[in-house]
Amino acid sequence: MELLIAAFSLGILGSFHCVGMCGPIALALPVHQLSPQGRIAGIILYNVGRAFTYAVLGAIFGALGMGVILAGYQQTLSIVLGVLLLLTVVLPSVKKDGFFSVVFPQLAFWLKARFSYLFSKRSYTALFLTGVFNGLLPCGLVYMALAGATASGDIFLGALFMAVFGLGTLPAMFSVTLFSSLSASFRSSMRKLAPIVAGVMACLLILRGLGLGIPYISPELSHKDNTEHSCCHKPGMQQEH
């Protein structure tokens, strides 16, 4: 539950970073010629498409985390992800957003072509697919969220983590498309809070991996079956029937 709260907080605060990165696409959506109801429906479909892609990515990375956990490296995975996430906070000069375009230039070019094609269609289906492809754009914030999905070690929880993250980005992205603007000072203030949430999530991952026996935050890990259990459990206690 703590990680899901962190996912929503990261999404809602980091979404003001998304406005800067994905704002041009949101502003260019062909919805302004629609009726007020149609415009709202189109914007919702676009953002649902983004959340859908995030959820699929979360399921994939959750599956990767599951493989690591089944290999017996649950604590190591959590600590490593927490440290990496913490480094992205304390080293903001790292160019996370540009990494994707450098490594996969053909895919980046293909995504741009898809946007041009879908914008010309001016349909609800095209708006949904625009959101789907938008979710694949390089974004340091999404990379941070995927660390949490990986640490979940579960396909469903990974998908849920990223879906909640996507839900958190909805208010700001919806507003910028519908009203075409957000206060620059407000965006700047909210953007500064995103690293704090990322730092808290990093600390939670590290504490979780340390297995300090703190309920909910850093539960002790049983090395026999590689599962978490409450620190209040007494080994000698027999289950009553």
Q: What is the count of structural domains for the chain?
A: 2
- 19/92 same-domain check: yes
Same domain, 234 and 131: no
Total-model pTM: 0.74
The verdict on 205 and 111 lying in the same domain is: yes
Q: Are residues 234 and 180 in the same domain?
A: no
Report DSSP letters for 43-88, one per residue: HHHHHHHHHHHHHHHHHHHHHHHHHHHHTT-HHHHHHHHHHHHHHH
Residue 95 CA to its chain's centroid (Å):
18
Choice between 239 and 53, residue whose per-residue pLDDT is larger: 53
Reduce the DSSP state of residue 173 to 3 states and report it. helix
Say whether both 228 and 165 belong to one domain. no
- Does 129 share its domain with 65? yes
Are both 77 and 106 inside the same structural domain?
A: yes
Q: Is 103 exposed, middle or buried (0-12, 13-18, 19+ CB in 10 A)?
A: exposed
Per-residue confidence (pLDDT) for residue 164, from 0 to 100: 93
With beta carbons less than 8 A apart as the criterion, state whether 165 and 9 touch: no
Could you report the per-residue pLDDT of 10-59, keeping only the tens digit for each? Answer: 888 777 666 666 666 777 788 878 888 888 898 899 989 999 999 999 99
Q: What's at 7, amino acid-wise?
A: A
Same domain? 86 vs 141: yes
207 DSSP 8-state letter: H
pLDDT at 127 (0 to 100): 92
Q: How confident is the model over 153-189, as pLDDT tens digits?
A: 899 999 999 999 999 888 877 777 766 555 556 556 6
Query: Mind listing the pLDDT tens digit for each residue in 3-23?
Result: 788 788 888 877 766 666 666
- What contacts 78, CB < 8 A, 6 or more positions away? 151, 205, 206, 208, 209
Both 165 and 222 in one domain: the answer is: no
Q: Do both 98 and 65 map to the same domain?
A: yes
More confident residue, 140 or 190: 140
Are residue 172 and residue 238 in the same domain, yes or no?
no
Q: Which domain holds residue 81?
A: 2-210
Q: Which stretches within the chain are classed as H helix? A: 2-28, 36-70, 74-90, 96-103, 105-121, 124-134, 140-152, 155-179, 184-191, 194-210
Q: Can you give the pLDDT at residue 181? A: 54
Judgement on whether residues 33 and 62 belong to the same structural domain of the protein: yes
Lowest mean pLDDT among 35-44, 90-99, 143-152, 201-210: 90-99
pLDDT tier at 225 (50, 70, 90 boundaries)? Answer: very low
